[in-house]
Amino acid sequence: MKSVYIETSIPSFFYETRQEPEMVARRTWTREWWERYKDRYELVTSDGVIAELEEGEYQAQADAVKLVAGLPRLDMPDEIAEIIDT
């Protein structure tokens, strides 16, 4: 089974609340992909994605984190972890 890396924009668009047509389209496309294709791939993420989703405060933050929290996480080289921490 092929793997797909789920980065921050996927849960962000999945729970997008803005009503501009472009944002509604992105939310719709993201949800359609998630429902149709997520079971065809091994979805993976990283601690960096989780950390980015947990930053700040925004509507549906808990839902966005929950969407990817149970996915397997890729190991990050120390250099990448340092960039995320800065």
pLDDT in the model for residue 38: 96
Tens digits of per-residue pLDDT, 28-79?
999 999 999 999 999 999 988 999 999 988 889 999 999 999 999 988 766 6
How far is 86 from 80, CA to CA, in rounded Å? Answer: 10
Taken in order 39, 64, 74, 70, is the CA torsion positive or negative? negative
Average the pLDDT over 8-13 and give the result: 96
Count of beta carbons in the 10 Å neighbourhood of residue 52:
17
pTM: 0.83
Residue 76 is predicted with a pLDDT of 72
Q: Which pLDDT score, from 0 to 100, does residue 86 have?
A: 57
Domain residue spans of the chain: 3-85
